[in-house]
Structure 1
Amino acid sequence: MSTASAIQRQQSIEELQSKEYDLLVIGGGITGCGIALDAVTRGLSVALVEMQDFAAGTSSRSTKLVHGGLRYLKQFEIKEVADLGKERAIVYENGPHVTTPVWMLLPFHKGGTFGKFSTNIGLRVYDFLAGVKRSERRYMLNAAKTIEKEPLVKAEELRGGGVYVEYRTDDARLTVDVAKAAIEKGATLINYTKAENFLYNDQKKINGIVAQDLIAYNMFTIRAKKVVNAAGPWVDDVRHIEGKQNGKHLILSKGVHIVFDESKFPLHQAVYFDTPDGRMVFAIPRDGKTYVGTTDTFYQGDAREMNIQQEDRDYMMKAIHYMFPKVHVTDEDIESSWAGVRPLIHEDGKNPSEISRKDEVWESSSGLVTIAGGKLTGYRKMAEIVLNKITQDLEQQFGITSTPCKTKHMRISGGEIGGSQNLHAFVSKRTKMGIDMGLSEAEAKHLAHHYGSNVDIVFEYAKEKHAVLPQMLYAQLLYGIHHEMVVHPNDFIIRRTAYMFFNIALVKKYKDAVVDEMAKQLNWSTEQREQYEKDLNTEITRATTAL
């Protein structure tokens, strides 16, 4: 029986060893979890291992937008815009609790990337290609109306602005809810489990892995007819288990985001704006904060140990002061930050300028299917493409038949609220329920949005009281441990709640109590507790150190 409980972790490990799966996925980011969901709903038996936590890599460190692909219009990548626009609508409808339409202002200045004509035509074409619904189609503003829309925007040489809709998301929660949906459908997923070696059959084809449980440090085997490498920035590491690989390889692009309190950077309107060097970045208000990103620089090193450098902060500050001259923030005003990498694909023998930002699928001579590149928005379609290939292989090689893709109209975990049109009524009703349980209106509303149709279980935990932890935080922690595979404090504070980025004061106040409660719930040894506490403090330092 599949489970998403950290308490029953050993049960999941025993289940992984108990049979041969049709498909084993390596990597628990949005791509891997999307593949697991697609596969299990086609009738395949599915396992997934993730060496860190779900979404611990790129999938929790993006700009937190489900893009419609406007940026690709500049490069005339018409199909990309059309595909991403359509997928964005699907992602929203299948999980409206975790994705929110926000109006985005694109100001244009004399000599900037966009002008009045190109913005107007570009957004009009974008609406058409992306299939944007009538209520969310673009409109144009003159300079005065642009300033009225967002008074902080630079007024000098401002020519006007275009307004269009982007979809803001919680990238890590989207990933976790896709993972939970896969588990609910019968897949077996586990975090902190690393693929160390491959198993091979007599024809020298991969038919499983030797895995290591990175919590108890036990080795065990998982057998599967097909194995997919969806390890994101670590795709090459998985491929290199077989030895040095020629052909395609990854180049990592580093993206940095910085967060301010709205009292320091009182932005009320999301803005997509020019930087002095001609790039475009976002400034987005969220939960009483404003975050700005992203940089785009090549990165070499371990993506798990990536720090934000002074030049990263300098770049973002220069961009802020360029477009928002009334905002006088300094490094000391940065409350939190995050850095992530985007894996880009390069092929041996090609010019460095030919790095691909698209997703690609290829298969090794031993049968390892690798998926790399791609974008958060396109995760469902990527999974469909991968599974179309794998199901064909499974039928030809093993006689295993499966159904076509079913995920286009399938709600992810928490998404069963009656469709996006019912979100407001759902949140309103659950907010009243939360207030009746002693939560504040803001707390109850936050939980309803955060967990969607799963919030009723969170409310059950809210009935329990803790000596130190606030009611809401304690309920979230218990839910995370029992229903969201929270194994480490960082899982909870960074990826299940995003408090590390958007409520760092809460983290600092209650981090010791969270560690204490987790140690009790999960039976940690003294050594484990010390290590996990140290790991948490390392991440707090990484997120908050401004100098």
Structure 2
Amino acid sequence: MVNFSAASRVQRHSVLKEQTFDLFIIGGGITGAGIALDAASRGLKVALAEMQDFAEGTSSRSTKLVHGGLRYLKQFEMKEVAELGRERAIVYENGPHVTSPMWMLLPFHKGGTFGSFSTSLGLKIYDILAGVKKGERRYMLSADEITAREPLLKKENLLGGGMYVEYRTDDARLTIEVLKAAVANGAVALNYLKVIGFQGSNLSFSRVEVQDQLTGESYIVKAKKVVNAAGPWVDDVRKLEHTIGEKHLILSKGVHLVFDETDFPLRQAIYFDTKSDGRMIFAIPRDGKTYVGTTDTFYDGDPLKLTVTIEERNYMIEAIKYMFPNLNLTLDKIESAWAGVRPLIHEKGKGPSEISRKDEIWQTESGLITIAGGKLTGYRKMAEKIVDLVVNQLNQEFNKKFGKSITKHLPISGGDMSGSRFFESFVQKRVIMGKQLGLSEEQSRYLAKFYGTNVDKVFDYVAQATGDLPAIVYGQLYYAMNDESASVATDFFIRRTSALFFNIHFVEQFKDSVIDEMAQYLKWSDQEKLQQIEWLEKALNDVKIVK
């Protein structure tokens, strides 16, 4: 098995050059990662290429919730609600360290989008369709009960509200853990490897031309089947094959703002409607911060060059002021922000919030299979459908005997603890181990909850800590490089730790020492090191709001 270390890139390139794969996947977001895990766990020989870092696109820039599909009730998409509800439970059980239940409050005000009856009935129907377990079913609150629970919420014309459970996640961590499970099952995955062309492709065999974005080297990968799961770049991949038809993507942009809890001391996660356009927005407390989002507007620019505009900041601030009028938040209180795009399948005459989030699959005459649309919550089911299609073709064309999906009950990396009910007892045991290494109880608990059953390996790196970095940071960094293919500094600070979004002071404090450590371990030249510094400074500027 090829390991997943950033130091093994040369070895992984060699494997990609030499072998012929059953399935080659383009895209290392949650969809591509899910496909890789499903296929590899069935015994297929799998390769995956991501032109940026894994999860760098949409899969690290969502609202960081594994939704149960509540919003689809308004559109009467009952099947979608039921399927997403079931999938949400599966995601949680297979990876309780990256997904956790969180009570969400849906308030209703006089003249607002929702009322008492519609809220109560809607949440009840949602519980039934989504198969919500007994301890997480909705209940209703009076206006006084809501005010006691969350004093910041607008009291004027407040009539009541409903409580229901959403599942909070770290979208990038979820993607990485799924991909690590795929690698553990034999998949070969490389970040910073871009598909630049196809040579001699047909229904049963493809030669895919790729280029290493860190070295510039190009070569051919041979595969029986190719799946295009490139998210916002799906159409760019299709253009390489000259196959753009009537179906095409349209991008919807979403923006999130992050505040320190001293400026926005939110106690209770809230799902609220805006005054200006009735759009629903989340406000969620997380680890000493509160983040708010998201917007939903069409975007026709380059997904690699997303920024948060002044209009988007003002829209969000006004929405916050309307629902939390006593906060008096201003632009200078924004600590960080991020923007992402959702790849949707174009539907003529529909606005961004009206377009279906359902996934679609289609295949060209030359064999390229494309999947587009869909949601984070449904990644496993999307992957199952794609791999079912691939397996059916392989079985017929090559006389193979690949079986059915096993991912419904397959833990992702770090989730091998026999389900969520054992998670807290697992954490308690690892807290004791961490303290024996000299970590504080808080640090030990954080690592155990963050890495799940992989924390023992992180502890091994903590025990080896040397140099300027604190032991906990050293442990996380070396785990990210050796076991999660973190190849550049932004990989560590964004996709492996989420620090750039939720702990920007951590980034500023340790950026120089982290780059020094990575440069030494990965043998960067002076020029490469300067490039890393430049990339990280750009990333910092992108998430900061210029005062």
Normalised to the residue count of structure 2, the TM-score between the two structures is 0.98
Q: Give the distance between the partners of 1:429 and 1:218, measured in 2 at CA.
A: 46
Structure 1 contact 208–227 (Cα < 8 Å) conserved: no
Q: Give the distance between the partners of 2:321 and 2:356, measured in 1 at CA.
A: 32
Q: Give the distance between the partners of 1:75 and 1:243, measured in 2 at CA.
A: 35
What is the root-mean-square deviation in Å for CA atoms of aligned residues? 1.2
Partner of 1:515: 515
Structure 2 contact 207–221 (Cα < 8 Å) conserved: yes
- TM-superposed deviation, 1:357: 2.3
Partner of 2:397: 397
**Structure 1 residues 352 and 77, CA, compared in 2 at 3 Å: closer, same or farther?**
closer
Structure 1 contact 259–289 (Cα < 8 Å) conserved: yes
Q: Give the distance between the partners of 2:467 and 2:177, measured in 1 at CA.
A: 30
Residues 323-332 or 367-376, more deviating: 323-332
Q: Which amino acid aligns with 1:117?
A: F
Secondary structure of 2:341 counterpart: strand
1:53 aligns with 2:47: no
Structure 1 contact 98–450 (Cα < 8 Å) conserved: yes
Partner of 2:233: 234
Q: Give the distance between the partners of 1:431 and 1:208, measured in 2 at CA.
A: 49
Q: Give the distance between the partners of 2:466 and 2:498, measured in 1 at CA.
A: 21
Structure 1 contact 24–208 (Cα < 8 Å) conserved: no
Partner of 2:38: 38
Q: Give the distance between the partners of 2:501 and 2:10, measured in 1 at CA.
A: 31
- TM-superposed deviation, 1:244: 5.6
Q: Which deviations, in whole Å up to 9, do the C-alpha atoms of 1:289-332 show, x marking residues without a partner? A: 00000001111121111111001100110110000111121111
Q: Which deviations, in whole Å up to 9, do the C-alpha atoms of 1:58-89 show, x marking residues without a partner? A: 00000000000001111111001000000000
Q: Which amino acid aligns with 2:169?
A: T
- TM-superposed deviation, 1:199: 2.5
Structure 2 contact 205–222 (Cα < 8 Å) conserved: no
Partner of 2:262: 263
Q: Give the distance between the partners of 1:235 and 1:352, measured in 2 at CA.
A: 21
Structure 1 contact 199–208 (Cα < 8 Å) conserved: yes
Q: Give the distance between the partners of 1:112 and 1:430, measured in 2 at CA.
A: 47
1:361 aligns with 2:361: yes
Q: Which amino acid aligns with 1:94?
A: N
- TM-superposed deviation, 1:351: 3.6
Note the 1:98-109 alignment, pairs <5 A. 98-109=98-109
Partner of 2:383: 383
Give ranges in structure 2 of 5+ residues lacking alignment.
none
Percent of aligned pairs with the same amino acid: 58
Q: Give the distance between the partners of 1:447 and 1:241, measured in 2 at CA.
A: 43
Structure 2 contact 4–483 (Cα < 8 Å) conserved: yes
Secondary structure of 1:292 counterpart: strand
1:160 aligns with 2:187: no
**Structure 1 residues 477 and 372, CA, compared in 2 at 3 Å: closer, same or farther?**
same
Structure 2 contact 25–228 (Cα < 8 Å) conserved: yes
Partner of 1:524: 524
Structure 1 contact 97–414 (Cα < 8 Å) conserved: yes
Normalised to the residue count of structure 1, the TM-score between the two structures is 0.98
Partner of 2:222: 223
Partner of 1:434: 434
Secondary structure of 2:18 counterpart: coil
Q: Give the distance between the partners of 2:121 and 2:470, measured in 1 at CA.
A: 51
Q: Give the distance between the partners of 2:241 and 2:217, measured in 1 at CA.
A: 22
Structure 1 contact 206–366 (Cα < 8 Å) conserved: no
Q: Give the distance between the partners of 1:357 and 1:33, measured in 2 at CA.
A: 19
Q: Give the distance between the partners of 2:403 and 2:525, measured in 1 at CA.
A: 46
Partner of 1:460: 460
Partner of 2:11: 11
Q: Give the distance between the partners of 1:158 and 1:466, measured in 2 at CA.
A: 56
- TM-superposed deviation, 1:355: 4.1
Partner of 2:329: 329
Structure 2 contact 20–224 (Cα < 8 Å) conserved: yes
Partner of 2:248: 249
Structure 1 contact 519–529 (Cα < 8 Å) conserved: yes
Q: Which amino acid aligns with 1:242?
A: E
Q: Give the distance between the partners of 2:530 and 2:243, measured in 1 at CA.
A: 37
Structure 1 contact 199–206 (Cα < 8 Å) conserved: no
Partner of 2:20: 20
- TM-superposed deviation, 1:546: 3.3
Q: Give the distance between the partners of 2:230 and 2:465, measured in 1 at CA.
A: 39
Give ranges in structure 1 of 5+ residues lacking alignment.
none
Q: Which amino acid aligns with 2:210?
A: A
Secondary structure of 2:463 counterpart: coil
Structure 2 contact 232–249 (Cα < 8 Å) conserved: yes
Partner of 1:207: 206
Secondary structure of 1:240 counterpart: helix
Q: Which deviations, in whole Å up to 9, do the C-alpha atoms of 1:480-522 show, x marking residues without a partner? A: 0000000011100000000001111110011011111111110
Q: Give the distance between the partners of 2:260 and 2:520, measured in 1 at CA.
A: 34
Partner of 1:506: 506
1:151 aligns with 2:126: no
1:125 aligns with 2:125: yes
1:173 aligns with 2:170: no
Partner of 1:67: 67
1:474 aligns with 2:474: yes
- TM-superposed deviation, 1:470: 1.4
- TM-superposed deviation, 1:545: 2.5
Partner of 1:413: 413
Q: Which amino acid aligns with 1:257?
A: H
Structure 2 contact 96–415 (Cα < 8 Å) conserved: yes
- TM-superposed deviation, 1:206: 5.2
Structure 1 contact 500–540 (Cα < 8 Å) conserved: yes
Q: Give the distance between the partners of 2:369 and 2:200, measured in 1 at CA.
A: 14
1:285 aligns with 2:285: yes
Q: Give the distance between the partners of 2:412 and 2:465, measured in 1 at CA.
A: 30
Structure 2 contact 54–191 (Cα < 8 Å) conserved: yes
- TM-superposed deviation, 1:204: 7.5
Secondary structure of 1:379 counterpart: helix
Partner of 2:344: 344
Q: Which deviations, in whole Å up to 9, do the C-alpha atoms of 1:374-401 show, x marking residues without a partner? A: 0000000000111111111111222222
Partner of 1:90: 90
